[in-house]
Structure 1
Amino acid sequence: MNRIVISVTNDLVTDQRVIKTCECFNELGFEILLIGRKWKSSPEANFPFKTYRFRLFFNHGFLFYAEYNLRLFFKLLFLKKQILYANDLDTLLPNYLVSKISTCKLIYDSHEYFTEVPELISRPRVKWFWSQIEEKIFPKLKNVITVSPKIAEIYTSKYQVPVTVVRNVPKKYRSKTDPSFNLRKKDHHIIVYQGALNMGRGLELMIKTMPLLKDCLLIIVGQGDIGAALKDQVKHLHLQEQVIFLGRIVPDELIGITRQADVGISLEENLGLSYRYCLPNKVFDYIQAEIPVLVSDLPLLKKLVKDFEIGKTLTSRNPEFMAQQIKELIKNKTFYKTGLKKASEIYTWDKEKKVLIDFITNIE
C-alpha cells in the first residue's frame, strides 16, 4: 500500500481542505499520515487516518517556522513514504529536500499565493525570504495544485510548471444539521463571517458598520492575529451584545451555525495578488447553506456572484453604503434562492475531488 505523508503548519482540526484531501486519499486505499502542530488549546484530532502533531517551543514568527521546518525535515526523513504532500510554502522546503534524498514523489498544494498575502506585502524582508524558497524550488516541481484558476495561471506563467486547480469547496450538505446552540434572537437577523481573523479581511469595516444595523447580529467564527484588536474595537463601540465571537468551530458544527445566518460576508481587501484572485472556502460554505453573500469587488468573487445571482458585490467600502446593501440582501433574500441552489449543486467537493483523484493517479 502506498503511503502519503501530508504536512501542514496548523493543528489540523479545522482545516477543511486538508481533511477532505486526506479522506479522499484514504477512500482510494492509500495509507495516510497527516502531520501538523498542537497548541495547548487544540482539540483532539479524531480522523479515520493517522495523525502526528508536534508540540513546539516557539509558536510565532521566525523561530516557529525554523523549529517546525527543522523538526518536520527529520520526521519526514525517517518515515516510510512513497509520496510527500506539502501544503503551502511554509512546509515546502523540508518536503522538497526529503523527496530528493529519499527519491519519493512530491506534491505541492498552494492554498493561496503565499508570497502575496497581506502579512508579507508590508514586510519586504520576510517576503524576500519566502520568495527565495519559492523561486528556487517551484521550477523543479512536477506535481502542483492550487485553489484558483488565476493563481494557477500566474504560477504557470512565472515558473513554466503546469498547475492543477482543485477549488476549496465544501461537501454537499446532505441534510439539515441541528446547531449545537441557537444563535437567533427575537427580531434579529444574522450576518456570519467564518475564517481566519487576519488583516485585510474587512472585519474592522464590518464592525464599524454594525451600529447602522440595529436589528442584526454579527457572528464571527475563527481565530487569528487580529482577534484581540477586533474584540477591543467591539468593546470601544459598545457592541458586545451585537457582535459575537465564537472562536474556532469544527466543520461539522460550523454547518449548523452557517445555516442560521441571513447573510454571509467575504470582504477581503485588494492587498496583494493572493487576495485579489482569491476564492475563499467560506463563500462556498455560504452557498451550500443557501444564504446570500456580500463579497468584495475582486475579479473572481465578483464573477461568481454575477454569474449565479447569489448576492451583492461591495463597490464602496463605506459603512453607510455597506449597511444599505446588507439590508437589501436580508429584505430580498428569497430572490437569491434559485441562484444559490444552482451554485450549491455545482460547487461541491463530491465533484471537485474527481479532479484530485485524476491528479493523484497521474503524478510523476
Structure 2
Amino acid sequence: MKKIIVSVTNDLSTDQRVDKVCGTLHQNGFKIILIGRKLKNSQPLNRKYSTKRIRLVFNKGFLFYAEYNFRLFFILLFSKKDILLSNDLDTLLPNYLVSILQGKKIVYDSHELFPEIPELVHKPFVKKCWSNLEAWILPKLKNTYTVCNSIAAFYHNKYKTDFKTIINLPKEKEIQLGKFPFHSKDQKIILYQGAVNLGRGLELMIDTMPFLENTLLVIIGDGDLFNNLKQQVKNNNLTHKIHFLGKISPKQLHKLTPLANLGISVEEDLGLNYRFALPNKIFDYIQAEVPILVSDLPEMKQIAIDYKVGEVVTNRSPKKLATQIKSILEKDFSTALKKAKQELVWEKQERKLLAIFNNLK
C-alpha cells in the first residue's frame, strides 16, 4: 500500500476539495495522511484517513508562511512516504525539496493562480517572490492537475506544463432540508456561501438588497471582510434583510443550501485568478437544485450557459442587478438543475484523479 502525505496550509475542517481527493485515494488502496494547521477555533475532525494539525506561533503574514513551511519540511523529511501531494503554491517548496532530496514522487494540485490572488495586488514584492518560486519549480513538475481548463491552459502557455483538469465537484447526495430561524415562507432567499474576502461582490449585493422586496441575503462563511461587511449592513439599516452565519461545517451547509431560491457567485474581475475562477459554491448550488447567478467571467459563465441552470450578471449597478434578480426568481430552472446535478458530481472526476496517481512519471 503506497503512502501519500498530503499538505495544505488551512485547518482541514472546511476544505472539501482536499477531503474528496483524500477520500478517493483512501478508498482505492492508498494510505493517506493529511497535514494542515491547528487554529483556536478549529473544529474536530472525523475522517477515514489520518490527519495531523500543526499548532503555530504565527498565523498570518510572512512569519506564518515561513514557520509553516519550515516545520512542514522537517515533518515530510522524517516521515515514511511514497508520494507527496502538495496543494497550492504555499506548500510546494518543502514538498519539492523533500522530493528531490529523497527521490520521491511529487504531485501538485493548483487550486488557483496563487500569485494572482487579490490580496497580493498591492504587494508587488510579495507577489514577485511567489511568482519566482512558481517559475522555478512548476516547469520541473511532471504530475500536476488543477481546477479548470483556463488555469491548465495558462500554465501550459507560460511554462509548457501538462496540467490535467480535476473540477472541484461535490459528491452526489440526497437533498436534506434544515431551517433558517429568521426566514418566513413568503420571503425569497439569496445565498452566498464561501470566503468573505476581497472581490467576492458582496458589497454590491448589500447595495442591491434595498431594491428587493420580501428577499433575504444569507452570507455563510468567514474571511477578512466579515466584520467590515457586517458594519456596512448595520450602517445601512439592513440587518433585517441580510444575515451573516459565519463559518459552518459542510454537514450543516448541506442542509441549508437547498433552502435558497438563488445562489450567487458574483466575483469581480480582479485579475487572472478571479477571471479563471470556478468556485465550489456554484456546483454546491446546482447539487442542491438552486439556480445560479454568476459573473461574466469565462469558466463560471460557461457552466450557467451550457447547463441552463441560471444566468450571467448583465449589469453591476445595484438597481439593474435587482431587476435581473427579480426576473430570475420568477423563472423555473428545476428541470435543467435536475439534469445538471447528475453530471456535475465528484464521482465523474475520480477516474481522472486515479489515472494520475496510478501512472506517476
TM-score range relative to shorter protein: over 0.9
**1:258 and 1:183, CA in 2 relative to 1: closer, same or farther beyond 3 A?**
farther
> 1:181 Cα deviation (Å)?
5.3
Q: Superposition pairs for residues 82-97 of structure 1, below 5 Å?
A: 82-97=82-97
The DSSP-based 3-state class of the residue aligned with 2:244 is strand
The DSSP-based 3-state class of the residue aligned with 1:244 is strand
> 1:122 Cα deviation (Å)?
2.5
Equivalent pair of 2:179/2:259 in contact (CA under 8 Å): no
- 2:334 corresponds, among 334, 337, 345, to 337
In structure 1, the partner of 2:172 is 172
Cα distance in 2 for partners of 1:34, 1:348 equals 23
Cα distance in 1 for partners of 2:357, 2:207 equals 46
Equivalent pair of 1:183/1:260 in contact (CA under 8 Å): no
Equivalent pair of 1:194/1:220 in contact (CA under 8 Å): yes
**1:183 and 1:176, CA in 2 relative to 1: closer, same or farther beyond 3 A?**
farther
Q: Superposition pairs for residues 1-364 of structure 1, below 5 Å?
A: 1-173=1-173, 175-179=174-178, 184-332=183-331, 334=332, 336-364=333-361
Equivalent pair of 1:180/1:253 in contact (CA under 8 Å): no
Q: Write out per-residue CA displacement over residues 2-32 of structure 1, whole angstroms, 9 at most, x where no aligned residue.
A: 1100000100011000000010010011111
> 1:303 Cα deviation (Å)?
1.8
Equivalent pair of 1:183/1:257 in contact (CA under 8 Å): no
The DSSP-based 3-state class of the residue aligned with 1:198 is coil
Cα distance in 1 for partners of 2:102, 2:242 equals 51
Cα distance in 2 for partners of 1:32, 1:303 equals 34
Q: Which moved more, 1:276-285 or 1:181-190?
A: 181-190
Cα distance in 1 for partners of 2:287, 2:203 equals 26
Q: Write out per-residue CA displacement over residues 318-345 of structure 1, whole angstroms, 9 at most, x where no aligned residue.
A: 000111111111111x2x1122122111
Q: Which moved more, 1:242-251 or 1:129-138?
A: 242-251
Q: Write out per-residue CA displacement over residues 131-176 of structure 1, whole angstroms, 9 at most, x where no aligned residue.
A: 0110010011011110010110110111111111000110112x23
**Stretches of structure 2 lacking an aligned partner (at least 5 in a row):** none
Cα distance in 2 for partners of 1:108, 1:141 equals 8
Superposition CA RMSD, Å:
1.2
2:83 maps to a residue whose letter is: I
**Runs of at least 4 residues of structure 1 off by over 4 A?**
180-183
1:84 maps to a residue whose letter is: L
> 1:182 Cα deviation (Å)?
5.0
**1:109 and 1:183, CA in 2 relative to 1: closer, same or farther beyond 3 A?**
farther
Q: Write out per-residue CA displacement over residues 280-333 of structure 1, whole angstroms, 9 at most, x where no aligned residue.
A: 11001111111111100111222221122111111211000111111111111x
> 1:264 Cα deviation (Å)?
0.1
Cα distance in 1 for partners of 2:182, 2:346 equals 27
Cα distance in 2 for partners of 1:180, 1:29 equals 39
2:323 maps to a residue whose letter is: Q
**Stretches of structure 1 lacking an aligned partner (at least 5 in a row):** none
Cα distance in 1 for partners of 2:301, 2:180 equals 33
Cα distance in 1 for partners of 2:299, 2:161 equals 22
> 1:214 Cα deviation (Å)?
2.9
Q: Write out per-residue CA displacement over residues 60-93 of structure 1, whole angstroms, 9 at most, x where no aligned residue.
A: 1111111111111111110000000000000000
Cα distance in 2 for partners of 1:45, 1:73 equals 24
The DSSP-based 3-state class of the residue aligned with 2:56 is coil
